[in-house]
Structure 1
Amino acid sequence: MKTLKFDDDSIQQLFGHEAAEDENPQRLRDYYFKGNIYSRSSSDLPLRILVGHKGIGKSALFEVAQQEDAESHTVAILLRPDDVHEIATSASVLESIRNWKEGLARIIFDKVMKALGNSQNDSVTENTWKGISLIDAITRILKPKLDKFIDINASKREFAKGILHHRKVRVYIDDLDRGWTANAESITRLSSLLNATRDMIKEHPGVQFRIALRSDVYYLVRTSDESTDKVEGSVIWYSWTNHEILAMLVKRVQSFLGREFNEDELTAMGQSTLANLLERVMNPTYYGHGGWSRIPTHRMLMSLIRRRPRDLVKLCTLAAQKTQERRGAIIETQDFTSAFDQYSQGRLQDTINEYRTELPNIDILLLNMRPTTQKKRVAKPFIYTTAALLAKINNIQSNQRQFVFHNGREATDKELAAFLYKVNFLTARKETDSNIERQYFEESRYLSSSFVDFGYDWEIHPAYRWALQPGRNKDVVTALDDI
């Protein structure tokens, strides 16, 4: 079994790179955890729209899916914002849809031709595909060229044969929400794209689209434009359970140590069994305070990560770096505890960066959600009833300048509460006799629609609490619940 050493290279290989596109492709395949969402996203249907929060694994899924497409000789191309930024958006939705259809057809055609080394001197114009499907236009050009690839380039020949045999081109569109402002133009542009892809899969049989969108972006487009109801059946909401994320962590650790498990084996294990497979890397018990005075380490991790794999990578990486600093052989309680402040500050800054275009002064709102001196004295200072939450927000509004969304609309207290829930700053919470039930935005979007009291309380997610009370590590940990 591989020797474990905490240095920068080993830490990254152990827990993975936080950005899938920057990960070593083979290492990504080694540790990637394929769940039900992967199967649904990679099914042979013409349109799949993958919706989930930033950091939940959309790009990683696309990266692995493209690698598997290549192995099966299915032609796949990736489009990012730079590839489509020149496609014009008009005030007319119909004109915008037409612009997207024409623009995407041209880009897809050009990308395929470029992959085959088609020179700019070849007579290829927009008329090449007008009146016929894209696949037919591509195959017309490929057939006479195929023999030329025999001795020139084996990969180009396989690429060409893949199109001719499967008559399929799979188009992955990622990072479209980069620079999202939630204004009317952004909504129209994205809505037009979704409608255009729906038209294109009918007009160009064999062209398939895989689109990744942030959950709040899709939700706003869906609730702002009734025409998007026609793509609802193609939407896959990407979410993880705590058990799946723990199994994912085990697969990463064990693959690094040289032991392979498949997804079915891991998901069938109980959490205590999974936790045992992490003991070479981290102490199985976290010795904190209050509700966290002596709890399984994996429970501590699951409560801090907002059900996003990237959060887990960041937290474990920070703790491992603390282990490296003290030349430790295993990640201990002190390493995680030392990492909490930095981890929490990072999650707060991520949220500010991610949603500032929608609510320009989001930082003022989030930072003022810290407990007041009076609130700090209660046992659970980060938990609010609906009435108390709205009162808290009203107090912030009265002491700060008005909060205005990017579209110029002044935000009400209920809209700000819904916004905090949507960005995962707040989690819905209900205590029963036996446990604590928590609901995230992706699971219960209706809870925030008008912020009616459905019997849930609201808690500030633990990932943010150190950033709201810097330097008060013991106080924050003492107030935490054991999940």
Structure 2
Amino acid sequence: MEILAKMDIDEVFGNEAGEEESRDFLKEVYIENDIYARAIGNTRIVCVRSRKGVGKSALLARAFTHCEHKGYSALWLSPTDLAVQLDTDYNISVDRLKKRLARLSVGCLAKKIGFSAAENADEAIAWAEKDGFRSKDFISKVAKTFQDVVKAKNDPGISEDSVTRLLARFAEQKVLTIFIDDLDRGWRPTGPDSIRLKAMISAIREIARECDGVSFRLSLREDVWQYLEIHDEQIDKFRQYAHFLKWDDAALRKIIGKRIWHYCKQNINGYSVSSSDDLSNIYELFDRTYTWSEEIKQMHEVLTNLSRRRPRDIIQLVKGAAVRAKSEGHTKIQETDVRNEFVYSYSRVRTLDLIKEFKNECEQMESLITVFGGKRYIRVMPYQEVIGLIKSVNGRISIEIFGKRATDVDCHNFLYRCGFISAREKISLTKYRHKLYEDAPSLIESMVGVEKYDWEIHAAFRPYLESLQVSPYQEKTRKSKRGR
């Protein structure tokens, strides 16, 4: 069936920012995983850590909807609401954050219950700020305080029966789940930001430990997590709650296939694919194969590779290719549509995104990446050539990582860790095995056998790098090669 011409592309693939997607759409297309299972379970703290575009915000949004659907008390707080005056005494800062969290939580509960006059919640909020999360039976006391307010005040905006039932259920369940997405919003590796984030994590740990039924669902960028692991000795106590979100190839296929299936079942008469997880959904929209590095690959394999296994990226790539295909009058998304979107738009966006994602960690990120660019850039390099390119820029501008002067090996490890470059080992005349940072995080730091690998720039960045001017080091290297 020719479905591309009948599709509204934006409606098929939804919002690229999953947390901004409608709850109904997210419920239909979300792919559940083990971290999601933890987030809707009874664990006191679940912190989702990931790179940009992997879906930590969407996971929290889906878990929040689940809690509300089940009738549990769930609050969504913004990290910008948690600003407090920091004190030179770290413990005082933690205490202020606990009070702020208690005040915000009770204020949000008051709104959910339906107080029409702000002063009706003042008594409960004042108690929360004074004693709040110091109390082990916080939930019971909040429910009791609100029940007293309802009895004492005649507020025409409140249906007393419904509020009484809600509060009774709240007191009986003794469950309050607090969601804070992007706990590190606006964070930079500076003194105040670093102290504030550490104090917030300490406050959350103490509240979850001391107050029955209060739990937290959080998200944190992976680069921030790595900074905390280096600079915060207390993070060891929090590590058990932090879970790294990633997707395998099968899950990414489902992310695309399920969106196609959901749209077609609702909007296209006679659509015959019965399963939302069936690869047939993808092949209804795409040609099956793609010529990749002189090999014939399945289209979905190429898409997952180019997306770096990030749902946001694969959706952007597919949407762009679909728009190109429709404009060309194609009945399916063809190899040329994917290739043109990749070369002329997607690669540039991905490279600039990578620079923005890691600029907090390394101010000189752009210079460190673009030194690999050029009209005849080298896609695969031996170890010494990688180090030579890095040396050419590091000797000129003094690269720093997390505020400390970086060696050439530090810079190589950084590029490996952020996914710009991977190790490549030849296993036969025509086959290679790649090693990503997730596979072997200590490969470069250990310096054991590191020179036996070639190093390959990730496919997502190559067209953009090829479009750049040749670096002086590359020109010098090429001239020396021609002279041999």
Any idea what SS the aligned residue of 2:215 has?
strand
1:24 aligns with 2:22: yes
Q: Distance in 1 between matches of 2:71 and 2:165?
A: 7
1:132 aligns with 2:128: no
Distance 1:166 1:25, change over 3 A: same
Q: Distance in 2 between matches of 1:261 and 1:275?
A: 9
Q: Which residue of 2 aligns with 1:14?
A: 12
Please tell me the residue identity of whatever aligns with 1:257.
C
Please tell me the residue identity of whatever aligns with 1:61.
L
Please tell me the residue identity of whatever aligns with 2:18.
A
Distance 1:249 1:390, change over 3 A: same
Q: 2:443 aligns with which of 447, 453, 474?
A: 447
Distance 1:471 1:218, change over 3 A: closer
Any idea what SS the aligned residue of 2:5 has?
coil
1:414–1:451 CA contact under 8 A, matched in 2: no
Q: Which residue of 2 aligns with 1:333?
A: 335
- Count of aligned residue pairs for this structure pair: 449
Q: 2:310 aligns with which of 308, 311, 317?
A: 308
In the TM superposition, 1:362-381 aligns within 5 A as 362-370=365-373, 373=376, 376=377, 381=378
Q: Distance in 2 between matches of 1:351 and 1:249?
A: 23
Any idea what SS the aligned residue of 2:405 has?
coil
Q: Which runs of 5+ in 2 are unaligned?
A: 266-272, 470-484
1:77–1:172 CA contact under 8 A, matched in 2: yes
Q: Distance in 2 between matches of 1:221 and 1:358?
A: 12
Q: Distance in 2 between matches of 1:316 and 1:420?
A: 26
Q: 1:396 aligns with which of 380, 386, 393?
A: 393
Q: Distance in 2 between matches of 1:33 and 1:2?
A: 26
Any idea what SS the aligned residue of 1:176 has?
coil
Please tell me the residue identity of whatever aligns with 2:232.
D
Q: Distance in 2 between matches of 1:79 and 1:313?
A: 28
Deviates most, 237-246 or 36-45:
36-45
In the TM superposition, 1:352-431 aligns within 5 A as 352-370=355-373, 373=376, 376=377, 381-398=378-395, 400-405=396-401, 407=403, 409-431=404-426
2:99–2:133 CA contact under 8 A, matched in 1: no
Q: Which residue of 1 aligns with 2:476?
A: none
In the TM superposition, 1:51-450 aligns within 5 A as 51-84=49-82, 86-118=83-115, 119-122=117-120, 123-124=123-124, 125=126, 126-127=129-130, 129=132, 132-133=135-136, 134-144=138-148, 152=159, 160-258=167-265, 261=275, 266=277, 274-287=278-291, 290-292=293-295, 294-341=296-343, 342-370=345-373, 373=376, 376=377, 381-398=378-395, 400-405=396-401, 407=403, 409-433=404-428, 436-447=432-443, 449=445
Q: Cα offset for 1:32?
A: 0.7
Any idea what SS the aligned residue of 1:277 has?
helix
Q: Distance in 2 between matches of 1:248 and 1:142?
A: 43
Q: Cα offset for 1:6?
A: 5.9
Deviates most, 453-462 or 205-214:
453-462
Deviations 1:182-214 (A, max 9, x none): 234333222222222111112211110111111
Deviations 1:188-242 (A, max 9, x none): 2222222221111122111101111111211210221111111111121111111
1:49–1:212 CA contact under 8 A, matched in 2: yes
2:288–2:298 CA contact under 8 A, matched in 1: yes
| RMSD, matched Cα | 2.9
Distance 1:58 1:2, change over 3 A: farther
Please tell me the residue identity of whatever aligns with 2:171.
L
Deviates most, 317-326 or 149-158:
149-158
Q: Distance in 1 between matches of 2:323 and 2:161?
A: 44
Distance 1:100 1:452, change over 3 A: farther
- Choose 1 or 2 for highest CA Rg: 2
1:216–1:422 CA contact under 8 A, matched in 2: no
Q: Cα offset for 1:141?
A: 2.3
Deviations 1:333-373 (A, max 9, x none): 11111101200001111112222233223212211122585
Q: Distance in 1 between matches of 2:232 and 2:318?
A: 41
TM-score (norm 2): 0.84
Q: Distance in 2 between matches of 1:462 and 1:34?
A: 28
Deviations 1:225-281 (A, max 9, x none): 11111111112111111122112222222222226647xxx4xxxxxxx54331111
TM-score (norm 1): 0.84
Any idea what SS the aligned residue of 2:397 has?
coil
Please tell me the residue identity of whatever aligns with 2:30.
Y
Q: Distance in 2 between matches of 1:205 and 1:175?
A: 25
Q: Cα offset for 1:388?
A: 3.0
Q: Cα offset for 1:152?
A: 3.1
Q: Distance in 2 between matches of 1:34 and 1:358?
A: 31
